[in-house]
Amino acid sequence: MTPILKLENLSKRFGGLAALTDVNFEAAKGEITGLIGPNGAGKTTCFNLITGTFPATSGAVLFEGKNVTGLAPHKLVELGLARTFQSATTFPKATVRENILRSALLRYPLGVVPMLFGGAPARRALESAEAVVTDVMDALELSPHADRIAGTLAYGHQKRLGVAIGLATRPALLLLDEPAAGLNPEEVDRFGGMLGTLTERFGVSVLIVEHHMRLIMRVCNHIVVLDHGEKIAEGAPNAVQNDPRVIEAYLGAEDHVG
């Protein structure tokens, strides 16, 4: 089966600094793949190359078998690749429902005029988008907050809203950039339970960067480990957790694998 994502010798240099060097890995369809490593390992750089935020110095990004290296982020969303960010990226003065609806409508290229003035295509698009919003809010336990202003939400709910906004584009692959950052242990556990259901419920594959190792070990099918811009290990959670190279990379780090 063709992997949902494949990196081939992906590299990025900033002047004389090698931020990422010849990274190769695959993410399987219908699975949650973790991308971990100590601070400065190159995880965010890797995400930025995959999502077109930065141009790669060399190498390739293949999405569902198609070379998408260097495509603009909005083009990747149209193809079915969406990303969330470490900080919740929302319209803070809009409601939860409105935030998610804006995202859901991105997959309907009708243009502004048809959406403003109605017509059968616009009505069908809006009805379909609203159904997606309802489903996404339910999955991330945001339904009770549907009509609240996003900027007034508690931090944990804002993080969930960020995931909901990405999920509402109905991606084939959703990239989550530290979605549990800043959450307390109870919120992390609750989020992990929700995350574990997304692949089956929405048919979405997930690539997640996260420092909470307990969350990573709980939800991921496969884990890739970076250190100093290079891949040092990959495999099933238990194998990665006990890999001597991974343990060495994390020695002295705040979030020790174990």
Same domain, 200 and 222: yes
Tell the burial category of 179 from Cβ atoms under 10 Å away from its Cβ (0-12, 13-18, 19+): buried
Query: 56-80: per-residue pLDDT in tens?
Result: 999 999 999 999 999 999 899 889 9
Query: 235-252: per-residue pLDDT in tens?
Result: 999 999 999 999 999 875
Give the type of residue at 56. Answer: A
pLDDT recorded at residue 86: 58
Range of the domain at 115: 90-154
User: How does DSSP assign 137-190, residue by residue?
Assistant: HHHTT-GGGTTSBGGGS-HHHHHHHHHHHHHTT--SEEEEESTTTT--HHHHHH
Same domain, 188 and 234: yes
Same domain, 47 and 94: no
Please tell me the distance from the alpha carbon of residue 42 to that of residue 3, in angstroms, as a whole number. 22
Please tell me the distance from the alpha carbon of residue 250 to that of residue 258, in angstroms, as a whole number. 10
Residue 206 resides in a domain: yes
Please tell me the distance from the alpha carbon of residue 256 to that of residue 27, in angstroms, as a whole number. 24
Same domain, 72 and 190: yes
Residue 159 resides in a domain: no
DSSP structure class, residue 113: H
Among residues 154, 183, 198, the one where a domain terminates is: 154
pLDDT recorded at residue 116: 54
Please tell me the distance from the alpha carbon of residue 82 to that of residue 179, in angstroms, as a whole number. 14
Query: 221-231: per-residue pLDDT in tens?
Result: 999 999 999 99
Residue 14 resides in a domain: yes
Nearest-5° Cα angle at 248, 232 to 215: 75
Same domain, 123 and 230: no
Please tell me the distance from the alpha carbon of residue 105 to that of residue 124, in angstroms, as a whole number. 11
Same domain, 118 and 55: no
pLDDT exceeds cutoff 80 at 113: no
Same domain, 150 and 100: yes
- Helices and strands, number each (H, E), in the chain: 10, 10
pLDDT category of residue 141 using cuts at 50, 70 and 90: very high
In the chain, the number of structural domains is 2
Residue 70 resides in a domain: yes
Same domain, 57 and 105: no
Q: How many percent of the chain have pLDDT more than 90? A: 75
Residue 160 resides in a domain: no
Same domain, 214 and 175: yes
CATH number at residue 203: 3.40.50.300
Residue 96 resides in a domain: yes
Residue ranges with strand state E in 79-138: 81-83
pLDDT recorded at residue 87: 55
Same domain, 147 and 20: no
Mean pLDDT of 144-163: 94
Same domain, 70 and 110: no
Residue 54 resides in a domain: yes
pLDDT recorded at residue 120: 75
pLDDT recorded at residue 122: 73
Same domain, 62 and 178: yes
